[in-house]
Amino acid sequence: MRKKLEILKLLTWYKSLQEEQAKIRVINCRINLEKLLQEKETIIALRKNYYSSLEKKCIFSAEEFKYRLFQIEKNKEFENILNKKIDMQNEELKTLLKLLEKAYKERKLMEILKNKVKHIWDLENIKKFYKEMDDLVLLRRGRDYV
């Protein structure tokens, strides 16, 4: 019974490590998602800046106009790429949250099993103690009658 308890303690510890690892992965994923969202906001701000510069200044040379349109087009491409990355990061975050939930449930299950086995082991030790005390009392009574 003692070995079973030690094994369950070890499994509980292992599952708690897995849960901590899953938490760290979720945190890192959220940080990456925040960075991507900030990048997207800066690209949108740049694109708005390019559009506003086109609206303010009416006369452009052909090269300046081509350059501004090229910048706007590249910004739109970068924004589309970032949208794809953000979608992928959101999907990864969902899978990591499911993994975290699974790790949490497994750790809780191991803790419950460990506590049950510990309770049974404690009850057996108490029974053994009472039995030894009963034997000692019987031995003592036996000496008194002799």
135 inside domain:
no
Give the model's pLDDT for residue 96. Answer: 95
Within a 10 A sphere around the Cβ of 61, how many other Cβ atoms?
8
User: Angle between the 2-56 and 62-145 helix axes, to the nearest 10 degrees?
Assistant: 160
| Position 29 in a domain | yes
Tell me if 39 is assigned to some domain: yes
On whether residue 128 sits in a domain, the answer given is no
pLDDT in tens, the chain (146 residues): 788 889 989 999 999 999 999 999 999 999 999 999 999 999 999 888 888 877 777 677 788 878 888 888 899 999 999 999 999 999 999 999 999 999 999 999 999 999 999 999 999 999 999 999 888 887 777 666 65
Residue 78 lies in a domain: yes
Residue 74, domain extent: 2-111
Q: Which pLDDT value is given to residue 56? A: 79
Kindly state the tokens that stand for 84. Answer: 């794809």
> What does pTM read for this prediction?
0.74
Is 133 inside any structural domain?
Answer: no
- How many structural domains are present in the chain? 1
Residue 117, domain member (yes or no) = no
pLDDT for res 33 = 95
- Phi, psi angles (nearest 5°) of residue 60: -125, 155
